[in-house]
Amino acid sequence: MSGLDMTGLTSGPAQVWGGIRLVPLLRDAPVAGLRLHRDLGTAAEDDPDDPCDGPWRVSYVPHAFVADWSGDGAHGAAYGTRLGPGGGAADPVRIPVSPRRHLTRRVREQGRRGRTPRATDRLRFLPLQLALAGYLSLHFRGPSIAWDEWSRSALQRGLSPREEAAYAGASVPGLGEALRVFEIHPRQCGVLLYTADALAAAFVVPHPADYRALHGTLVEDLYGELVYQYAYYARPLPAFEARLGDGRNVRTTADLRAAARRAEAEWRRDHDSILAAGLLADGYRFERVYAMDGFTLQRFLPGFVPGREQHIGELIRDHKGRTAYLKTFRLSEVQVRRGHLLDALHREDWHPERTAAALGTSVEELARRIRSAGFGSLLKHG
């Protein structure tokens, strides 16, 4: 399978706020056996190879997700957030809450650095962490033989995915207000977020209650430079309006209901085949990261085809391959070209002559492209 299986999800009527268009994704029935909760956390880790952060790097994680397939209904909430080394008084205070409430946070935290997750029924992970790390690091493992052009710096440090720019959702013009006024559908289990009608991100969860609890996290997520620019310069978008013809065939309530359903079906067909076509196209490469009792946590990369809409992301699939959870990040054209270049180098085991031949160019032009992409440290100078 090289595409995203969206079986069981249908796109509902869009809502518009300025240059932001939000398209709800609806499920006829929730995905059985999996729930997602929100978790607050901090992380502090020793990173001696980081030239900027010094001997200690402390990072604040705005939110994390906990995948829960236990079904035991035991939940807890993190009350407040504190920064500290962890494992002591600086950890957030936790209080029990009723399992009937939707805004719950799982008490147990697993998968932190230095701790091996037990083969249990819960997994803590950071939204898009796998995908953003995979975008660059998947191709920065280096060649099988360290040829001379591979610099000492690259061998010692690698190239960090933190070099890629991203914008917090709170800085995307209009996004916070759009999420505030957005009406959540009773069956809604996800959303497609557009800026200037360019798909910015997709977000899918297993259950409507999960979406209601996690809807606000969209403003805390990361978005690409293209998304920010489109939102900043976009003019107000036209809202979706159902057109029922000249009205001569609408005489009863049943006629009106049938006409509205036809209009919804037309909107769904046009949306899926035009606005969402880039996301739903084939050509993704998937890597399994974690298996959990009939579900798998995966990350995916696109084909890195220049000139095309390309998304990276992570997802959880059930045993039938259907998407239970999805979060995506749209790459800019510059990032797509970088990925295309790295793909070619990776396929040819980082051999300059073979890579240049595969790209239909010269070694000199390949070196120029590597430098212009920001990877000049890979080349030996002199």
pLDDT at 102: 30
Q: Could you give the strand order of the β-sheet that contains 122-125, starting from the edge strand earlier in sequence?
A: 35-46, 56-68, 122-125
Nearest to 142 by CA among 155, 128, 126, 161: 155
Structure tokens that stand for 316 in this block: 């959880």
Rounded to 5°, angle at Cα 210 from 204 and 211 = 55
Rounded to 5°, angle at Cα 217 from 213 and 218 = 120
Beta strands of the chain (E only): which ranges?
Answer: 9-11, 15-17, 20-27, 35-46, 56-68, 76-79, 93-96, 122-125, 167-168, 188-195, 198-204, 222-223, 285-292, 295-301, 311-317, 323-330
Give me the residues of the chain with pLDDT under 50, please: 42-60, 73-119, 148-149, 151, 160-162
pLDDT at 311: 93
| Spatial separation of the C-alpha atoms in residues 207 and 189, rounded to whole Å | 6
Nearest to 84 by CA among 59, 49, 116, 117: 59
Task: Tell me the pTM.
Answer: 0.75
Structure tokens that stand for 353 in this block: 């002559």
